[in-house]
Amino acid sequence: MSGRALSRYWRRRRFNPVPALLAAALWAGAAAPGAAQALRGLQSGDTPLEINADEGIEWRRDEQVYIARGNALAVRGEISVYADEMKAHYRKIEGSGSEVDKIDVAGAVRIVSPTETVHGDRGAYDVINGVFVLVGDNLRLIGENDTITARDSLEYWERKKIAVARGNAKAVRADKRIEADVLTAYFEPGADDGLELKRIEAFGNVRIATSQEYAQGDHGMYYVARELATLDGDVKITREDNQLNGEYAEVNLKTGVSRLLAGPPGSAKRGKVRGLLTPKPKPKPKPKPKPKREPAPGDDS
């Protein structure tokens, strides 16, 4: 099949690898709407998808798969997907031809939008269930102001409208950082038929750091619009040499004000709030200089 024929074929198919871009929104509330708009743009069937490959495009009819090899590039609108190899699996539908149900990308995978670039080794998009998973040794998303990394996977679940970073997940913006075993971002319909990031949930070994303090707990939630993070479960807040321990904390990343409580508001589970405040040592006074010894008369020493 020629490249032009394949391009016409893909115009009738629903190819949507860009959901991994929404992992950027795990930290950047401002960046999330742009990535969401890009997602909606790929979902539109009006814009054609163009695929190019240096080594050609292979059609395996019996296996029901198309394979593009050698610097494969898929472009729709402002979104580009690069990989060494792309495989599009399709299934036959009685009375209506066929449809693509899974797309695999492998080798130096890169997903590029005007505001973010996602890197991974390989990925798969389940078209039927709307789930995209990107894996590899150096998973990262680089945005205009943010960097997201994960050890195990970056995922987007289209129907649930959630993005997930798994395995030592970390999101960094300027001097602010959030880390956890798993970070999950939740989206809701917003203006202009787009998606808006509402909150981020952190599970396991949660750590939030700014230039002035460090907070940790078992579970956390970040409310994007309010720039407010909550932590619960064995919470510790450290600032310089001072440490506060409790069961629940509120950390305002906008104002820099933190509150530590005995338990979540309205919860029957209460614990003690403990603090260890270390006074700064007073500076030692400088020793007075010793007076110079005046030589005695006749003393030549």
pLDDT tens, residue by residue, 190-200: 776 667 778 88
Closest by CA to 12, choosing from 45, 57, 54, is 45
Give per-residue pLDDT as tens, 138-173. 898 887 777 889 999 998 888 888 889 999 999 888
- Going by C-beta distance under 8 Å and a sequence separation of 6 or more, which residues neighbour residue 66? 1, 6, 57, 58, 59, 60, 87, 88, 90
Q: What is the mean pLDDT of the chain?
A: 77
| pLDDT reading at 11 higher than 60 | no
Token pair, residue 74, equals 């898929």
37 band by pLDDT with thresholds 50, 70 and 90 = very low
Confidence of residue 55 (pLDDT cuts 50, 70, 90): very high
Q: Quick check: helix, strand or coil at residue 191?
A: helix
Residues 6+ apart with CB under 8 A from 35: 18, 21, 22, 24, 25, 113, 115, 116
Mean pLDDT computed over 290-300: 68
CA pair distance 54, 3, nearest whole angstrom? 11
For range 207-236, the mean pLDDT: 90
Distance CA 194, CA 179 (A): 27
- Predicted TM-score of the model (pTM): 0.72
Distance CA 178, CA 244 (A): 19
DSSP string, 17-67: -GGGGGGGGGT-TTTHHHHHHHHHHHH-SSSPPEEE-SSEEEEETTTTEEE
**Residue 49 clears pLDDT 60, i.e. is over it:** yes
Which residues lie across from 83 on neighbouring strands? 72
* Cα distances (angstroms) measured from residue 206 to each of 25, 118, 143, 250: 18, 24, 22, 13
DSSP label at 240? Answer: T
| Res. 97 pLDDT band, cuts 50 70 90 | confident
d(CA 74, CA 103): 12
CA distances from 184 to 4, 15, 65, 204, 261 (A): 40, 24, 33, 12, 25
Looking at residue 133, its amino acid is V
Q: Which residue, 184, 218, 179, is CA-closest to 200?
A: 184
Q: Which residue has the higher pLDDT, 116 or 229?
A: 229
